[in-house]
Amino acid sequence: MSTGAKTNAMRSLDARGIAYEVVSFSPDVRTAEGVAAAAGFPLDEVYKTLVVVGDGHRPVLVMVPGDRELDLKALSRALGAKRLALASRGDAERLTGLQLGGISALALTDQPFDVAIDCSAQRLNRIVVSAGRRGLNLRLCVAELVRATGARWLDVAAR
């Protein structure tokens, strides 16, 4: 399936010489569960990127597995922040310039975001994350994702 023009995420990976596989599906799919079902990957290998905001802290892009939820208290402790919250849809889109369902840390590597990934990804070789556009994800090595985004490992996902 044609993916159209390359996204910023793909250009960022290309510039770093990082290999990836393009995963295409209907742009109407906007959840990790939907991506896993459409693309045929286990849900725990499909990571969603959440935008978190808080008092006195710059926005954080947090990648957590599709079969888990973000533990905001654990994230607050890990970052030494007093109050953090998930950004509203409007705030997430305004802050990132990307539509919900297409928010990608890979597409925002030149933006002022802290980036974190849940420690559960350490057990994986390859991971599926947003390519920065609805209907398009990328599958790549976890270590390369961390290298490209500068993500730090945090234990922040809860069942």
Q: How many domains does the chain have?
A: 1
**Residue 76 belongs to domain with CATH number:** 3.90.960.10
Classify residue 78: in a domain, yes or no.
yes
Q: Which residue has the tokens 């990648």?
A: 63
**pLDDT per position in the chain (159 positions), as tens?**
445 689 999 999 999 999 999 999 999 998 999 999 999 999 999 999 999 999 777 899 999 999 999 999 999 999 999 889 999 999 999 999 999 989 999 999 999 899 999 999 999 999 999 999 999 999 999 999 999 999 999 999 998
Domain region containing 98: 8-158
Classify residue 2: in a domain, yes or no.
no
Query: What does the pLDDT read at residue 55?
Result: 77
CB-CB contact of 122 with 153 (8 Å): yes
Query: What does the pLDDT read at residue 2?
Result: 46
Classify residue 77: in a domain, yes or no.
yes
Distance of CA 113 to the CA centre of its chain: 12
- Amino acid, single-letter form, for residue 44: D
Query: What does the pLDDT read at residue 6?
Result: 93
Q: Rounded to whole angstroms, how far apart are CA atoms 97 and 157?
A: 25
Classify residue 151: in a domain, yes or no.
yes
Classify residue 1: in a domain, yes or no.
no
